[in-house]
Structure 1
Amino acid sequence: MTTLLLNGRVHSPAQPDATAIAVRDGTVVWLGSDEVGRAQFPQAETVDLEGGFVAPAFVDSHVHLTATGLTLVGLDLRHAASLRECLDLLGRYARAHPDGVIWGHGWDESGWPEHVAPSTEDIDATVGQRAVYLARVDVHSAAASTALRATAPGLTDAAGYHPQRPLTADAHHLVRAAARDRLTADQRNEARRAALDAAAAHGIVSVHECAGPQIGGLDDWLELRDVEHGVDVVGYWGEAATDAAHARDLVEQTGAHGLAGDLFVDGALGSRTAWLSRPYTDAPGECGNTYLDEDAVAAHLHACTEARITAGFHVIGDAAVGAVVAALARVVAQFGAPAVARCGHRLEHLEMVSAEQAAQLGAWGVVASMQPHFDALWGGPAGMYAQRLGSERAAGLNPFALLASHGVPLAFGSDSPVTSLDPWSGVRAASRHQTPGSAISLRAAFAAATRGAWRAAGVRDGVTGTLVPGAVASYAIWEADGFEVSAPADSVQRWSTDPRSRVPALPRLNVDDALPRCRQTVHRGVTIHG
């Protein structure tokens, strides 16, 4: 049976003026005008779009589903505006949920008037002898209660331990594992389904789960693999391989798509654990953490390239990026650039990258899996980046235009629960970068959140992530208020914005514009939301 959607606006490079689209057996078979569609498919089931905007469905290139769901159904601290409000939210949640571990996420002291993180004493005074785990927004440090700390063996001897301040590095991994162990199977399952439902409600049909031993553990990933849902889950396992046989064994053991994602070379800027070449401006003498050095990175890349497996790393600080690029150069010298590009190696976050490094990554086909929300939340002259690094270094972060100009494939995601799942918000953030010259167009940002994210997972057929005849019918129907073809105000336009150019328009995403609202999400012809 053919389904004919009429009376809408369809985003397609093949038919930029299309108002109708026909789908059969999960595949797009035709696009055009309403009148021609009715004539060509007289027996089709018709759907009146009522002016809705049909666009390729989104793909989120970096998520943590269980943690996202625990935030959605549990204690979300991302909107706490002060330490006092954070502790008030904790107290109210504890009273409403008198049993079990309290798992919270999202506090960010960099924007609080106190500029002070929750201490162990603060948490104990609020909840008493409860087990409490409160992850900072970047999930590279966490505050924890005395009761929870007592259940983490070896905590006081671990790197990153402090009796009162939030825990980082190995100490954070230990206390996070202790908190995970206290979650029930029902809690974990509820969280995953909530996260997948939320993704579908945002027009997302596929997510790249960045799993690993220090994030959710193997059990969490294997349980997630067994969840049946309309949203595809493409899994990456963040564990370093020592040789090709080890890499193949890890992929067989986990069933992951690659040994990439959050394989940590360093930490995060907010927690001052990103690996820098010069000290933090607000912490003289500190240059962050190094979890994998250049030799370890090179060994993993060598193993995965030989085994033809996608490798990748979590890499943020400039020293970390330098180590990864140097290791890639060693592997390229041995295997050749085509062999490296064929593997689709990817770098997560890649916030501090130079022009020379961007040119090398582009030549080697290395994917940059990035999060536009990071600049929206922490960029600008008064943002967290400037606090940590000073204005000069901060201005160079998340350089989307620089990477695109050197041919680095971009894939956009949220790092949820670190930032919102809303993909339109991310597209807007990429097109309105707070550093002049770093933004990309709405068109390029939209491509990075759709076609680019499919390509990052190895789908390189040239049509997936678009709406053209022969493409998979994975799309969302949106309510949007205005449309335009636009380029960043601070860059040279690479295509005409004249309506007669037949470049497909996108929703207008100015700061004061309402974001599109998802009415329905369809994946391979099957409705998964709405």
Structure 2
Amino acid sequence: MPDATAMAVRDGTVAWLGSDEVGRAQFPDAAVTDLDGGFVAPAFVDSHIHTTATGLTLTGLDLRGATSLRHCLDLLAAYARSHPGGVIWGHGWDESGWPERCAPSTGDVDAAVGGQAAYLARVDVHSAVASTALRRAADVGDEVPLTSDAHHRVRRAARDRLTAQQRTQARAAALDAAAALGVVAVHECAGPEIGGLDDWLELRAHDHGVEVVGYWGEHVATAAQAVELLAATQARGLAGDLFVDGAIGSRTAWLHEPYSDLPDGCPTPTGNTHLDADAVTAHLSACTEAGITAGFHVIGDAAVTTVVSALDSVVDRFGVAAVARCGHRLEHLEMVTDEQAAQLGSWGVIASMQPNFDALWGGNTGMYAQRLGAARAAGLNRFALLASQGVPLAFGSDSPVTDMNPWATVRAATRHHTPGSAISARAAFAAATRGAWRAGGVRDGLMGTLVPGAPASYAVWDADSFEVSAPADAVQRWSTDSRSRVPVLPALDGALPTCRQTVHRGSVIHG
């Protein structure tokens, strides 16, 4: 464990870290924090989050713990009894782990909530079930589960029934939770079909110590449209959850070959396509011409092929340097080939990924194997391949899909179910700190490190043990540069570290 005992911060910048009194005396005008045995490290950044939806899960009906269809419906009925007014917003059911292996029906939901409006998103938020009252309000039929446009309409109807107080409380809860987990910045992946423009503008106006970097997922066809939309939204880029396809769990990710466990009569055996090759190319071209970050939600192998082919044509048109300067990013990128990884690495395209997806759904009997078969499932979330080809990695949670705890993210990246796809704890930590800052456009060489002169964005942790002993002055050189003497990370075999204090640019935001 690093044995530096104090840190000095002056004007929001790290001035000194160490244990010697001589060093401490050099900065009499700085604010000195005594670490008292705590482990200090650069603060985390979550590269993909949905803030209001996360808060609604924290303050509302969280179904991620449901172990069966009956359990899910019991949780729903109990919540409805204790919240008789307004819309019920639930999240997180996952039938792939239930003995019934089937989603709740509209009748199931109605029996649990009576005449209330209820929206229940599947854990990946690419399908949902809803009560009859809400379906009627959204003018959708009896499809179960709801996907694509029908799902978007029902979610919009549910969102419209939330009060301003509910939305504000949800955002505060989500950002408070992030700060308590040592997260000082989040990348909000907003868009017209996710939370809508009002939700994004309200989040931008929400005063909180956690920094919100916003991406707006809406398609454009010309550079002029890109500039106009970026100015209207004040987002960091036209990226994030601009959907090319859906998700594997909802059988809506766009595949080359059909799903292995298709229900009878499935009209889309290879998933859903939201943007075709021409639309993807147009968006990338428009943003590259305007010098704006572009990006997409892309999961299935057919979707990845479409995006990589589009990037290839844009590189031919504008050149590698112009594409790399934009910092284009791909969210999730779960199914990628060796050749595609090499191409993305040569173009400087960023992979914003979620290691907890593999932790939750990987393995020979997990959800991926159910949907795709074991052979295809073994080729998902190839962190080591992408890193080896020079693809910049940024890690996040996609909360509320998975938990925001960044140490769980680091642990998951080191324990990939498929041999050869895991990365080291140091590489995973870098992807959740410096890599995520870089993905958000901060490339000053200091953010995400903890060295004199760097912004004072850090967290102090209590941890039971560390992997090996660290050199006595290692904490003074906290950097994600592999050439520096980085302190070892906490051992993640047992309880995860507890955050004692979170500081962003010199201001305490937790603890």
Give the TM-score of the pair, scaled to structure 2: 0.95
Offset at residue 46 of structure 1 (A): 4.0
1:82-111 CA deviation, whole Å, 9 max, x = no partner?
A: 001100000110011110000000000000
SS at match of 2:138: coil
Matched, 1:388 2:371: yes
Offset at residue 509 of structure 1 (A): 1.2
Q: Which residue of 2 aligns with 1:68?
A: 54
1:56 aligned partner, one-letter code: P
2:198 aligned partner, one-letter code: D
2:306 aligned partner, one-letter code: A
Offset at residue 64 of structure 1 (A): 0.3
Percent identity of equivalent pairs: 76
Matched, 1:80 2:63: no
Offset at residue 20 of structure 1 (A): 3.3
1:245 aligned partner, one-letter code: A
Q: Which residue of 1 aligns with 2:425?
A: 442
Choose the corresponding residue for 2:39, options 47, 53, 56.
53
Choose the corresponding residue for 2:309, options 326, 334, 348.
326
Offset at residue 212 of structure 1 (A): 0.3
Please say if residues 121 and 164 of structure 1, whose CA atoms lie closer than 8 Å, have aligned partners that are also in contact. no
Q: Distance in 2 between matches of 1:450 and 1:185?
A: 33
1:144 aligned partner, one-letter code: A
Offset at residue 481 of structure 1 (A): 1.1
Q: Distance in 2 between matches of 1:300 and 1:314?
A: 13
Over the aligned positions, Cα root-mean-square deviation in angstroms equals 1.5
1:378-424 CA deviation, whole Å, 9 max, x = no partner?
A: 00111000000000000010000000000000000000000001000
2:381 aligned partner, one-letter code: N
Structure 2 residue runs without a partner (length 5+) = 470-483
Q: Which residue of 1 aligns with 2:386?
A: 403
Q: Distance in 2 between matches of 1:32 and 1:478?
A: 16
Choose the corresponding residue for 2:258, options 261, 279, 286.
279
Offset at residue 485 of structure 1 (A): 5.8
1:431 aligned partner, one-letter code: T
Please say if residues 20 and 37 of structure 1, whose CA atoms lie closer than 8 Å, have aligned partners that are also in contact. no
SS at match of 2:237: coil
Matched, 1:253 2:232: yes
Q: Distance in 2 between matches of 1:19 and 1:387?
A: 50
Larger deviation, residues 294-303 vs 30-39 = 30-39
SS at match of 1:507: coil
Choose the corresponding residue for 1:233, options 208, 212, 217.
212
Q: Which residue of 1 aligns with 2:75?
A: 89
Choose the corresponding residue for 2:288, options 305, 314, 328.
305
Q: Which residue of 2 aligns with 1:494?
A: none
Q: Distance in 2 between matches of 1:217 and 1:49?
A: 42
Please say if residues 427 and 449 of structure 1, whose CA atoms lie closer than 8 Å, have aligned partners that are also in contact. yes
1:316-355 CA deviation, whole Å, 9 max, x = no partner?
A: 0000000000000000000000100000000000000001
Choose the corresponding residue for 1:206, options 170, 182, 185.
185
Matched, 1:145 2:140: no
Q: Which residue of 1 aligns with 2:202?
A: 223
Choose the corresponding residue for 1:466, options 436, 441, 449.
449
Structure 1 residue runs without a partner (length 5+) = 1-7, 10-16, 157-162, 487-500
Q: Which residue of 1 aligns with 2:481?
A: none
Offset at residue 22 of structure 1 (A): 1.7
Matched, 1:418 2:404: no
Matched, 1:521 2:502: yes
Matched, 1:344 2:327: yes
Offset at residue 40 of structure 1 (A): 2.6
Give the TM-score of the pair, scaled to structure 1: 0.91
2:51 aligned partner, one-letter code: L
Please say if residues 475 and 523 of structure 1, whose CA atoms lie closer than 8 Å, have aligned partners that are also in contact. yes
Q: Distance in 1 between matches of 2:55 and 2:322?
A: 38
Q: Distance in 2 between matches of 1:81 and 1:286?
A: 27
1:165-215 CA deviation, whole Å, 9 max, x = no partner?
A: 110011000100000010011111110111010110000000000000110
2:288 aligned partner, one-letter code: T
Q: Which residue of 2 aligns with 1:121?
A: 107
Q: Which residue of 1 aligns with 2:476?
A: none
Please say if residues 62 and 210 of structure 1, whose CA atoms lie closer than 8 Å, have aligned partners that are also in contact. yes
Offset at residue 42 of structure 1 (A): 5.1
Offset at residue 43 of structure 1 (A): 6.1
Q: Distance in 2 between matches of 1:266 and 1:44?
A: 51
1:457 aligned partner, one-letter code: G
Q: Which residue of 1 aligns with 2:145?
A: 166
Q: Distance in 2 between matches of 1:38 and 1:470?
A: 16
1:472 aligned partner, one-letter code: P
Offset at residue 283 of structure 1 (A): 1.3
Matched, 1:22 2:8: yes
